[in-house]
């Protein structure tokens, strides 16, 4: 069977998605990938005459989501028969983009009608890459594009509002990356390609993160934030026989809906680690649990995934700590600046402090602030 990786390219109006899709095909075809694109379903329906304003929005969204999922399944099924080692299935917008165009009640109605749930839809993709609208950070370019494109009707304010809704819709995915407008447009697209390459492991999959001990946050306030999503995690370490390698399996989800993954990590520097990850079926996950390292306890934690200032922050709440928590920020490069939300009170950075690694917590529970 070929290795199929399914990713989403999303973003606000005039974010660079069309150019990005072209560059993705050019770059990854040269690396030996067979690149397959699933076209944007909303545009397909609207240009075909199925316009949402002629009926109820919820009915349009049900039809859109049904068609979108059917297309993704069909493309993936066809790709599975190809005699190719590496296949990149690129979705021009994904299932959770639809959430940004609905009320919460309509979204719940669509999920019920489709007999699915938000976690299953969101986490069916291996990674999500969001291109921030030019209206946020490159407003002059947005206005110029809008004047030359009659289909672009959103004001800069509306574009920014939609952009935030799209980011919020995908927040909670384990591999969400936001590409902002802090550089010129060509460099922005280059960063998109670089983020995808890093995720795919071309040339090698690196994870760069910084970790901070913080005061216990206001959980009720976090849960009220539209750009924050709560997930439950159970992490089990496996026997490896190699002191330099860490292998673990993870159950991740919420409200009875979970995905399962296996991760292998090898440290390169204090901040950088080589990491590979693969999705598991529930049966594979249960089989691997039989190889659990019984010298280590399972780690259970609640994670709050927070999109803030074009950054993706993860706040881990452990049941054995009542006054502190851990905040992790995944970075594009080791020198990237972190912008903490005002309600986060950092005690100190603990990047590289092995006492605060999940593996160390599986060995023994240190006192808070130690």
pLDDT tens-digit profile, the chain (370 residues): 678 999 999 999 999 999 999 999 999 998 999 999 999 999 999 989 988 888 899 999 999 999 999 999 999 999 999 999 899 999 999 999 999 999 999 999 999 999 999 999 999 999 999 999 999 999 998 988 776 655 567 899 999 999 999 999 999 999 999 999 999 999 999 999 999 998 998 865 566 789 999 999 999 999 999 999 999 999 999 998 776 788 999 999 998 899 999 998 877 665 666 777 888 999 999 999 999 999 999 999 999 999 998 899 999 999 999 999 999 998 877 788 899 999 999 999 999 898 998 889 998 766 676 5
**Residues forming a β-bridge with 329:** 210, 313
253-259: long-range contacts at Cβ-Cβ below 8 A with a sequence spacing of 24 or more? 253/119, 253/123, 254/119, 254/230, 255/117, 255/119, 257/117, 257/119, 257/120, 258/119, 258/282, 259/119, 259/123
Phi and psi (nearest 5°) for 168? -60, -35
Domain 206-363 has CATH 3.50.50.100: no
SS (H, E, C) 64-87: HHHHHHHHHHHHHHHHCCCCCCEE
- For residue 255, what pLDDT is reported? 87
- For residue 365, what pLDDT is reported? 63
- For residue 227, what pLDDT is reported? 93
pTM for the whole thing?
0.84
272-280 and 206-215 as β-strands: parallel, antiparallel, unpaired? antiparallel
- Please answer whether residues 38 and 204 qualify as being in contact, where contact means their C-beta atoms are separated by less than 8 angstroms: no
- Strand, helix or coil at 4? strand
The 10 Å Cβ neighbour count of residue 155 is: 13
- Strand, helix or coil at 301? strand
CATH fold of 3-200 reads: Rossmann fold (3.40.50)
Phi and psi (nearest 5°) for 174? -70, -20
Kindly report, as residue ranges, where domains of CATH 2.40.320.10 are found in the chain: 206-363
- For residue 367, what pLDDT is reported? 65
């Amino acid at each position: 069977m070929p290795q199929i990786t399914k990713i989403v390219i999303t973003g606000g109006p005039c974010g660079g998605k069309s150019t990005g899709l072209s560059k993705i095909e050019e770059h990854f075809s040269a690396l030996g990938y067979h690149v397959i694109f699933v076209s944007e379903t909303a545009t397909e329906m609207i240009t075909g005459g199925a316009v949402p304003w002629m009926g109820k929005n919820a009915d349009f969204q049900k039809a859109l989501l049904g068609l979108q999922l059917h297309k993704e399944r069909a493309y993936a099924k066809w790709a599975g028969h190809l005699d190719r080692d590496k296949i990149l299935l690129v979705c021009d917008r994904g299932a959770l983009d639809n959430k940004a165009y609905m009320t919460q009640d309509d979204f719940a109605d669509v999920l019920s009608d489709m007999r699915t749930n938000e976690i299953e839809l969101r986490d069916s993709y291996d990674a999500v890459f969001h291109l921030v609208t030019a209206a946020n950070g490159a407003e002059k370019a947005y206005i110029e594009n809008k004047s030359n494109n009659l289909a672009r009707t959103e004001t800069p304010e509306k574009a920014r509002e939609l952009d935030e809704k799209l980011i919020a819709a995908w927040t909670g995915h384990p591999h969400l990356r936001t590409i902002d407008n802090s550089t010129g447009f060509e460099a922005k697209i280059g960063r998109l390609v670089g983020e995808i390459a890093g995720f795919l492991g071309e040339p090698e999959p690196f994870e760069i993160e910084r970790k901070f001990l913080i005061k216990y946050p206001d959980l009720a306030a976090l849960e009220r934030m539209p750009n924050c999503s709560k997930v439950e995690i159970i992490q089990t370490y496996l026997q490896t026989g190699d002191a330099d390698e860490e292998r673990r399996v993870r159950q991740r989800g919420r409200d009875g809906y979970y995905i399962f993954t296996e991760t292998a990590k090898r440290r390169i520097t204090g901040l950088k680690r080589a990491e590979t990850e693969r999705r598991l079926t529930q049966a594979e996950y249960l089989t691997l649990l039989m190889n659990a390292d019984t010298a280590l306890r399972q780690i259970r934690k609640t994670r709050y995934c927070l999109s803030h200032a074009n950054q993706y922050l993860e706040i881990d709440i452990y049941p054995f700590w009542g006054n502190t928590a851990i905040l992790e920020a995944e970075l594009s490069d080791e020198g990237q600046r972190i912008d903490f939300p005002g309600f986060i009170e950092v005690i100190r950075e603990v990047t590289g402090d092995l006492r605060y690694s999940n593996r160390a917590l599986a060995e023994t529970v240190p006192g808070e602030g130690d």
